[in-house]
Structure 1
Amino acid sequence: MFQAAKQAKFQRGGSTDDILLDDGNTSYRLSLYDKPPLYDVTVEEFETSALDRLRILAEIESSAARNRSWDETKQVTMIQCGKYLPLNSNSASGIDVQAERRKDCLGHFVLRLAFCRSEELRRRFIRAESTLFKIRFETDDSNERRAFLDSKDFNWISVSKDEKAEYKEQLQHFISAKVDLTTAFKNEAFYKVKWTTIPDLVEKRKVFLKGGYAYVPAREQASIIYSAFEERLEAALQATSRAISLVDEDTRLNPILDNLAQGFIAGVPSDWVASGETTGDGITADMVDSLAKQHFPLCMRVLQQSLRKDHHLKHFGRLHYGLFLKVLGLSIDEAIAFWRKSFAGGPGSDKFDKEYRYNIRHSFGLEGRRMNYPAKNCLQLHSAHEAGCPYRQLEGSPENLQSALLSSYSAQGLTVDDLPEIMAQVKKKSYHVACTRVFEITHARSVKKGEGLGDGESVTHPNQYAARSIELEKESKESKLEINSM
């Protein structure tokens, strides 16, 4: 991967830059990622394949932070994979499985470049990737899984019949037999591996130890495979970290890789967020205050409260809040009316038109470069020094953060008893998880704990939070109308 990136043949044809990469093994749905890809990809494909994979890994880490059960984590991950990273078996019809696997492989290797740069990033990447591999292993077609295992060398030794008979007394303790122990033992295969490679089974006393080897029953074979996956990935990341300077020579890839490395902190925004399109029906200036009290995430509620109190926001506060309201559905005319009304008692009409009107129109793409700017996502707000994520900015002042939460959400059901759980996520720097938990608490009638915005999805954008909240209220009203009409 590095050699390819080092030699990267960036072909300046049209507006796309192509990167030459090595071709990978796409024979099976499961992969140890031991062969890097080798084909031409655009810089856009280089980034999007990694972003889509990172959406999955970020949600896996979010599941761990929220102490979801294995079944819940598995369900959420499979739903997210279906949206962003489908990976079908060879028997699937009408689907280009090779294209799916090429994207899967490319995204994995790009993320290696992003997460090899520190021990902490490597550890988190290995943990999330291992969880994804386990979920895929458990859900894989049994025949294809067997073919995959047969194609790889996991450094295990099949225990012969003679050796199995020699240690029969010890080995039969590890057989799960509901009827006949003798028959079950006869049918059970055993494998020998170095005991240091499967500490989980050793700790749980699920294997027989002899001469530095662990005798593993076939039904526990998965632990050997998971251990091998983690061990090989760790070694690969170490090798990548030693060679990363070769990639650092390209200034266009560095911003992409740096942005990917930040993805675990705030999750990865969904595709609709980047589009800059509105997330709901058109709203008016007079509706904003009411919407803020019912549907806004803490970052935007704080800005609305400051605006009402001081009749003013600093530059970045106006920028972030203005883009948020635009994407929420506030038209240019209503936006000007909203800001003019909010600044009442401040600048006069002439001063408002002179100092603020241009910037409002600029954010709508009507002035200057005429770009229709998207609203800021959680990742961008986390790095903002002003008017950013309050969970991050008030982390060092827990009393102020708790006070802000209670004053903003107590009317929607958040209580003092809920604060320790939220603050625990803030302390772990899982700010988007804390925000997601607030959403669940304040929408308890519609979503259960662990469901997030729906299907377990976490908050990754202020507009995502507000749009989902508005949608749930609309669904609730429609449901009541149906009941009343019956």
Structure 2
Amino acid sequence: MFQAAKQSKLPKNESANILSVDNGSTLYRLSLYDQPPLYDVTVEEFETSALDRLRILAEIESSAARNRSWDETKQVTMTQCGKYLPLNSNSALGIDVLEERRKDRLGHFVLRLAFCRSEELRRRFIRAETTLFRIRFETDDSNERRAFLDSKDFNWISVGAEEKERYKEQLKHFISAKTDLDGAFQSEAFYKVKWTTIPDLVEKRKVFLKGGYAYVPAREQASIIYSAFEERLEAALRVTSRAIPLVDEDTRLNPILDNLAQGFIAGIPSDWVASAETTGEGITADMVDSLAKQHFPLCMRVLHHSLRKDHHLKHFGRLHYGLFLKVLGLSIDEAIAFWRKSFAGGPGSDKFDKEYRYNIRHSFGLEGRRMNYPAKNCLQLHSAHEAGCPYRQLESSPENLQSALLSSYSAQGLTINDLPEIIAQVKKKSYHVACTRVFEITHARSVRKGEGLSDGESVTHPNQYAARSIELEKETKDPKMKVDHGV
């Protein structure tokens, strides 16, 4: 599917970062993704298109984990698509719909490479992609949707007038009209498909079965299309899995595909390559205690509590918490003041300067490689063995997790009655859902259940949690300060 671009087309320093891909059809907003795209893309475009699509698919998974209704799932998904993966109809004015479809198809095929590697990943990918297709199908322009359907072969057979009349008494049971049943029957079209292709309609007894075929009324036609999409995607993933050894030879792609798969396995919107540093307004060392009590996610509250209790944190605790505070807005001078004060009773001034000052300056890019390090996101904390995500690390000790939650958030409205729902999500390894639910409970005055940080968005980064919490407090004090918090 992918092959290196010819060296002669590009400057030497750019050719190694270009992939050659083939262009597929962009006639319609809807797609069965039956033709891979073929055009030149950079490695960066290869990665970012997949990341943006993964955010949508992961939010669909989050909706399922949170038992959102179909209407809620649909609304959340459409909102997230508007941010990361817009896909407009041909009638849209002033919009490059071809570029939108180009990105949509590229992201889909990149994720195929990442998620074809195991049965579990394939199953989750198919389910999320089918949900996304269904939402787009329901919201598509009716004329364009009809043109799309006419352009594809879904292996259905239109039931002719004679056959329809032959089974009239049986088929009338599947007409929804409450009056003028005969008239409604005459105007209703029926299609025949192999009954095994639409198990959902068979299970719900919404079709007439005869001779191995299911007679499907036109109003249920969408189920045939969804089943065809799912069936074709499943077959395509099996084919792709056999081609993976060829892709593995490209050392540029392996790290990207591995990270994409890990992001999906963790069950979170994969946002670890997006602009990781969104430094907020400046804060001082003296403000940290108050901010921790009101605005920090559990992972950072646990670290803050340990620091205040023991006047010390181990290396990774200092690293994760220090980077979090830096991105929150703690300047280098205030950071040194904060850590010096926090270690009071521990190392003396000379020892602090010798053992810790350099590392603090290093994290700000002022020493060593002079690299301004970003704060760790949720996916990175999930995989950390030390000072990581407490929802994951305390999964096997629900009693300790419940104690940590109550001690951290009871002052903000979290009660013992809220814990079963949170622990249930942790047991399902939906750690980001548990954290998002805590945010909703502790910000109930501003956020409704299911709304997440806003518009259904889930927590993907400790700084994202803290920044949104601070924003909500400001909006409560002064509604005129309401801002767009999109990442």
TM bucket normalised to smaller: over 0.9
- Once residues 273 and 102 of structure 1 are traced to their aligned partners in structure 2, the CA distance between those partners, rounded to angstroms, is 20
Residues 24 and 37, structure 2, Cα contact 8 Å, conserved in 1 = yes
Evaluate the alpha carbon distance shift between residue 166 and residue 102 of structure 1 in structure 2; reply closer, same or farther with a 3 A threshold. same
Alignment of 1:403-442 (within 5 A): 403-442=403-442
Q: Secondary structure at the match of 1:299?
A: helix
Evaluate the alpha carbon distance shift between residue 425 and residue 8 of structure 1 in structure 2; reply closer, same or farther with a 3 A threshold. farther
- Once residues 202 and 63 of structure 2 are traced to their aligned partners in structure 1, the CA distance between those partners, rounded to angstroms, is 26
The Cα of 1:448 is off from its aligned counterpart by 0.6
The Cα of 1:274 is off from its aligned counterpart by 2.4
Residues 394 and 400, structure 2, Cα contact 8 Å, conserved in 1 = yes
Q: TM-score, normalised by structure 1?
A: 0.96
Residues 267 and 430, structure 2, Cα contact 8 Å, conserved in 1 = yes
Q: Secondary structure at the match of 2:12?
A: coil
The Cα of 1:277 is off from its aligned counterpart by 3.0
2:268 alignment counterpart: 267
Residues 362 and 370, structure 2, Cα contact 8 Å, conserved in 1 = yes
2:130 alignment counterpart: 130
The Cα of 1:9 is off from its aligned counterpart by 5.2
Residues 89 and 140, structure 2, Cα contact 8 Å, conserved in 1 = yes
Residues 260 and 270, structure 2, Cα contact 8 Å, conserved in 1 = no
- Once residues 379 and 37 of structure 2 are traced to their aligned partners in structure 1, the CA distance between those partners, rounded to angstroms, is 29
2:383 alignment counterpart: 383
Evaluate the alpha carbon distance shift between residue 481 and residue 40 of structure 1 in structure 2; reply closer, same or farther with a 3 A threshold. closer
1:151 alignment counterpart: 151
- Once residues 69 and 83 of structure 1 are traced to their aligned partners in structure 2, the CA distance between those partners, rounded to angstroms, is 21
The Cα of 1:154 is off from its aligned counterpart by 0.3
Q: Which amino acid aligns with 1:283?
A: I
Q: Which amino acid aligns with 1:38?
A: L
Q: Does 1:91 align with 2:91?
A: yes
The Cα of 1:276 is off from its aligned counterpart by 1.6
- Once residues 481 and 183 of structure 1 are traced to their aligned partners in structure 2, the CA distance between those partners, rounded to angstroms, is 58
1:474 alignment counterpart: 474
The Cα of 1:171 is off from its aligned counterpart by 0.6
- Once residues 356 and 266 of structure 1 are traced to their aligned partners in structure 2, the CA distance between those partners, rounded to angstroms, is 35
Evaluate the alpha carbon distance shift between residue 475 and residue 422 of structure 1 in structure 2; reply closer, same or farther with a 3 A threshold. same
- Once residues 214 and 289 of structure 1 are traced to their aligned partners in structure 2, the CA distance between those partners, rounded to angstroms, is 65
Residues 311 and 343, structure 2, Cα contact 8 Å, conserved in 1 = yes
2:485 alignment counterpart: none
The Cα of 1:267 is off from its aligned counterpart by 2.1
Q: Deviations over 1:335-364 (max 9, x none)?
A: 000000000001111111111111111111
1:56 alignment counterpart: 56
- Once residues 453 and 224 of structure 1 are traced to their aligned partners in structure 2, the CA distance between those partners, rounded to angstroms, is 36
Residues 159 and 192, structure 2, Cα contact 8 Å, conserved in 1 = yes
2:346 alignment counterpart: 346
2:303 alignment counterpart: 303
Q: Which amino acid aligns with 2:456?
A: G
- Once residues 270 and 25 of structure 2 are traced to their aligned partners in structure 1, the CA distance between those partners, rounded to angstroms, is 30
The Cα of 1:218 is off from its aligned counterpart by 0.4
- Once residues 225 and 463 of structure 2 are traced to their aligned partners in structure 1, the CA distance between those partners, rounded to angstroms, is 41
Paired-residue identity, %: 86
Of residues 368-377 and 64-73 in structure 1, the stretch that sits farther from structure 2 once superposed is 368-377
- Once residues 358 and 478 of structure 1 are traced to their aligned partners in structure 2, the CA distance between those partners, rounded to angstroms, is 40
Q: Deviations over 1:24-74 (max 9, x none)?
A: 111100000000010000000000000000000000000000000000000
Evaluate the alpha carbon distance shift between residue 9 and residue 261 of structure 1 in structure 2; reply closer, same or farther with a 3 A threshold. farther
2:454 alignment counterpart: 454
Residues 452 and 458, structure 2, Cα contact 8 Å, conserved in 1 = yes
Instruction: Give the total of aligned pairs.
Output: 478
Q: Does 1:276 align with 2:277?
A: yes
The Cα of 1:271 is off from its aligned counterpart by 8.5
Residues 276 and 372, structure 1, Cα contact 8 Å, conserved in 2 = no
Evaluate the alpha carbon distance shift between residue 229 and residue 456 of structure 1 in structure 2; reply closer, same or farther with a 3 A threshold. same
Q: Secondary structure at the match of 2:478?
A: helix
Q: Deviations over 1:135-162 (max 9, x none)?
A: 0000000000000000000000000110
Residues 266 and 378, structure 1, Cα contact 8 Å, conserved in 2 = no
Of residues 260-269 and 77-86 in structure 1, the stretch that sits farther from structure 2 once superposed is 260-269
Q: Does 1:444 align with 2:436?
A: no
Q: TM-score, normalised by structure 2?
A: 0.96
- Once residues 466 and 427 of structure 1 are traced to their aligned partners in structure 2, the CA distance between those partners, rounded to angstroms, is 25
1:166 alignment counterpart: 166
Q: Does 1:236 align with 2:236?
A: yes
- Once residues 461 and 415 of structure 2 are traced to their aligned partners in structure 1, the CA distance between those partners, rounded to angstroms, is 24
Q: Does 1:400 align with 2:400?
A: yes
- Once residues 120 and 11 of structure 2 are traced to their aligned partners in structure 1, the CA distance between those partners, rounded to angstroms, is 36
Of residues 410-419 and 101-110 in structure 1, the stretch that sits farther from structure 2 once superposed is 410-419
For structure 2, the 5+ residue unaligned runs are 483-487
Q: Secondary structure at the match of 1:262?
A: helix
- Once residues 267 and 304 of structure 2 are traced to their aligned partners in structure 1, the CA distance between those partners, rounded to angstroms, is 22
2:181 alignment counterpart: 181
1:290 alignment counterpart: 290
- Once residues 15 and 396 of structure 1 are traced to their aligned partners in structure 2, the CA distance between those partners, rounded to angstroms, is 48
- Once residues 461 and 275 of structure 1 are traced to their aligned partners in structure 2, the CA distance between those partners, rounded to angstroms, is 9
The Cα of 1:275 is off from its aligned counterpart by 4.0
1:14 alignment counterpart: 13
Residues 327 and 375, structure 2, Cα contact 8 Å, conserved in 1 = yes
The Cα of 1:13 is off from its aligned counterpart by 3.3
1:115 alignment counterpart: 115
Evaluate the alpha carbon distance shift between residue 258 and residue 154 of structure 1 in structure 2; reply closer, same or farther with a 3 A threshold. same
Q: Deviations over 1:248-299 (max 9, x none)?
A: 1112211100100122225235589624231x32110011011101100000
- Once residues 240 and 316 of structure 1 are traced to their aligned partners in structure 2, the CA distance between those partners, rounded to angstroms, is 39
Evaluate the alpha carbon distance shift between residue 78 and residue 481 of structure 1 in structure 2; reply closer, same or farther with a 3 A threshold. closer
Q: Secondary structure at the match of 1:244?
A: helix
- Once residues 132 and 460 of structure 1 are traced to their aligned partners in structure 2, the CA distance between those partners, rounded to angstroms, is 21
- Once residues 476 and 353 of structure 1 are traced to their aligned partners in structure 2, the CA distance between those partners, rounded to angstroms, is 41
Q: Secondary structure at the match of 2:13?
A: coil
Evaluate the alpha carbon distance shift between residue 480 and residue 133 of structure 1 in structure 2; reply closer, same or farther with a 3 A threshold. closer
Q: Secondary structure at the match of 1:14?
A: helix
| Aligned-residue RMSD, C-alpha | 1.6
- Once residues 424 and 250 of structure 1 are traced to their aligned partners in structure 2, the CA distance between those partners, rounded to angstroms, is 41
The Cα of 1:180 is off from its aligned counterpart by 1.4
1:139 alignment counterpart: 139
Residues 282 and 330, structure 1, Cα contact 8 Å, conserved in 2 = yes
- Once residues 355 and 267 of structure 1 are traced to their aligned partners in structure 2, the CA distance between those partners, rounded to angstroms, is 36
**Runs of 4+ with deviation above 4 angstroms:** 7-12, 269-273, 479-482
Residues 189 and 218, structure 1, Cα contact 8 Å, conserved in 2 = yes
The Cα of 1:242 is off from its aligned counterpart by 1.3
- Once residues 473 and 144 of structure 1 are traced to their aligned partners in structure 2, the CA distance between those partners, rounded to angstroms, is 45
The Cα of 1:477 is off from its aligned counterpart by 1.0
Q: Deviations over 1:384-408 (max 9, x none)?
A: 1111101111111111111111111
Residues 53 and 107, structure 1, Cα contact 8 Å, conserved in 2 = yes
Evaluate the alpha carbon distance shift between residue 480 and residue 30 of structure 1 in structure 2; reply closer, same or farther with a 3 A threshold. closer
